[in-house]
Structure 1
């Protein structure tokens, strides 16, 4: 196991009616900008609860943050922050709203165009403090320092991380997920599942604790994900999924072990170029990536087959094939298509995606940095 530092300062407020408790963790004199996405936060009363909890604090709102938040939209929010001397940000929504709010927190105190810093992953000197109220379990952004933003004019979707972007607190009330459309629930489960895979399905370094945590999360998502679609107001099911999504990317299972993230980096191109939902891009790409990388991932793929899918019989190759097939079946059971062609894209999209990977210097990738242009093409061909 590698040397590591582990740091996570985010306070988790889990359970029913926890929004009221945010009053304890925001300064009384704060000028607060509430950020959110579409109209559901208003429609279902979540924003009213937030305003009630904030009491007499000066509050402002900025809505309309997109799924895969856009640079141009977020820069409008930065203007609101500057014009109203905002000194605390409160994200209400899913991972995209939280990611966008992290960008706002960074950009509002940065002089000049922040995109070069963001896309080149340079460190921040300061950021506005933020908290979040989650309504969609998926990305884990509520308890980490990572954010992904799309610059539509450049066709670039870029991830960024900085310790200053950890939320100070995260409210996780599973009942707030009851009204989500089935598609968003399914996307969230698959997103969380592949977050775990990116940190687990690499190569062994005797990270036994991390492996067992990861396998427990994968099994939980496999067991509970389909139930969330058929029994949408089951608190126990939603609690398990909400907490799994948070633990999938709060840094705990990543410490001391190699990480992949090639599926995400390639998937970001599908979103930036074609607007395909983030989780859908991951479901498209992961089975093909596992096939192409089956030799370098062999030991962990066999472990995954045995411990997660209960596959014990047959040759090494047959067990790996079965595990990959089971993975694809799970995504399709959750309602996600697993081929790029199913989203109406022509085969020429492969060259366009490869062009983006080269243009933004994203190759090589993978835990061994062995996914070059040729391997990326093989993955995309299998994913088409």
Structure 2
């Protein structure tokens, strides 16, 4: 193992923690509060944020989509530049936080913000930002990554930059009380696949990373099994913390990572509006089967240590079946079902986008070619 690990985001975890932001953002800073469709005004979060920002010079920007678009976010970038905003406070789930990272970076860049996603501009500075998490899933509240969509071209790309790592994150499980079932199920699936992308590769004798990943996966299995009893403080708190730990950099430190499921899933979302988590559940089982020769050892390890399966020549396949059953227990499909009748045309569109975005050699071994991407998507239809 060779790695450098640091996570500078301060976590304020627990009930009533939104009030703590008044001691974390300097009083002289002009703050832009960025949020989504307005649910924070009906669940009490907006009121708590307003109370915590009493005495601050602050303004707001709403309307960030579930898959944040550069077109919408550029309006917030203009506000930051025109109003002299010093600090950005993202209030929402991963989409709002990701979008706020784009705003923070693009606001200090004179060119087209989309250059950041295309790698034409390397982000070295950004407006300071923090997050109040309302939907546990992505871990964006304490990492340096963001995924943004360009609606005009149906392109969904990611960027990483230490400059956009949130300074602090407020994680109050009470804000989850009004979330719809679908969003909670999606959060479990998203955290599950984030963990798998850093775990289901090949053995590296990384005892801490493997053991912690397995603990997170077992947590998510328990939370899924208790989904009917989700309306309690313990369930909410454990999902919120588990989802955070799945993608704060720790379990991926010093080990191979995959992310092919995400790259292919992003195209499903960009082209057909499939929920991010559900795109992952559609792609992952077929991808694991497609790459089983390389992933067999870790699939077998997962089968033994996470699902408690017995040894056998077919253990890797039984592990994939167990993953599918896990998704089905949450009523999340594992086949292409949400984007119209012409599956062949859909697959061709997805593969075409992968090619145009340079996603031609994916996975921990860079072995997933366009042909294999097509094959595994065809398997996801069968």
With structure 2 as the length reference, what TM-score do the two structures score? 0.98
C-alpha spacing 1:371/1:106, structure 2 compared with 1 (3 Å) = same
Q: Distance in 2 between matches of 1:357 and 1:342?
A: 19
- 1:353 paired residue number: 350
Tell me by how many angstroms 1:255 deviates: 0.3
- 2:35 paired residue number: 36
8 Å CA contact retained: 1:102, 1:130:
yes
Tell me by how many angstroms 1:378 deviates: 1.2
- 2:325 paired residue number: 329
The partner residue of 1:253 within 248, 251, 254 is 251
Q: Distance in 1 between matches of 2:292 and 2:123?
A: 38
- SS of residue paired to 2:27: coil
Tell me by how many angstroms 1:4 deviates: 0.5
1:108 matches 2:107: yes
8 Å CA contact retained: 1:178, 1:232:
no
- Which shifted more, 79-88 or 343-352? 343-352
- 1:17 paired residue number: 16
C-alpha spacing 1:34/1:226, structure 2 compared with 1 (3 Å) = farther
- 2:378 paired residue number: 381
- SS of residue paired to 2:292: coil
With structure 1 as the length reference, what TM-score do the two structures score? 0.97
- SS of residue paired to 2:158: strand
- 1:341 paired residue number: 337
C-alpha spacing 1:154/1:66, structure 2 compared with 1 (3 Å) = same
Tell me by how many angstroms 1:295 deviates: 0.4
1:298 matches 2:296: yes
8 Å CA contact retained: 1:145, 1:166:
yes
1:365 matches 2:344: no
8 Å CA contact retained: 2:224, 2:329:
no
Tell me by how many angstroms 1:55 deviates: 1.5
Q: Distance in 1 between matches of 2:124 and 2:254?
A: 27
Per-residue CA deviations over 1:293-351 (Å, capped at 9, x if unaligned) read 00001110110110011112322xx2111111110111111121111135435221011
Per-residue CA deviations over 1:33-57 (Å, capped at 9, x if unaligned) read 1011112101111011011111111
Tell me by how many angstroms 1:226 deviates: 3.8
Structure 2, gaps ≥5 residues long: none
- 2:5 paired residue number: 6
8 Å CA contact retained: 2:76, 2:103:
yes
- Which shifted more, 78-87 or 210-219? 78-87
The partner residue of 2:261 within 235, 255, 263 is 263
Tell me by how many angstroms 1:375 deviates: 1.0
8 Å CA contact retained: 1:121, 1:161:
no
Q: Distance in 2 between matches of 1:105 and 1:260?
A: 28
- SS of residue paired to 2:135: coil
- 2:183 paired residue number: 184
- 1:48 paired residue number: 47
Q: Distance in 2 between matches of 1:225 and 1:93?
A: 23
- 1:171 paired residue number: 170
- SS of residue paired to 2:193: helix
Q: Distance in 1 between matches of 2:55 and 2:135?
A: 28
C-alpha spacing 1:345/1:59, structure 2 compared with 1 (3 Å) = farther
Tell me by how many angstroms 1:233 deviates: 2.1
Q: Distance in 2 between matches of 1:206 and 1:320?
A: 19
8 Å CA contact retained: 1:201, 1:297:
yes
8 Å CA contact retained: 1:121, 1:160:
no
1:135 matches 2:134: yes
Tell me by how many angstroms 1:236 deviates: 0.6
8 Å CA contact retained: 1:78, 1:108:
yes
8 Å CA contact retained: 1:17, 1:173:
yes
Structure 1, gaps ≥5 residues long: none
Q: Distance in 1 between matches of 2:371 and 2:232?
A: 46
Tell me by how many angstroms 1:116 deviates: 2.0
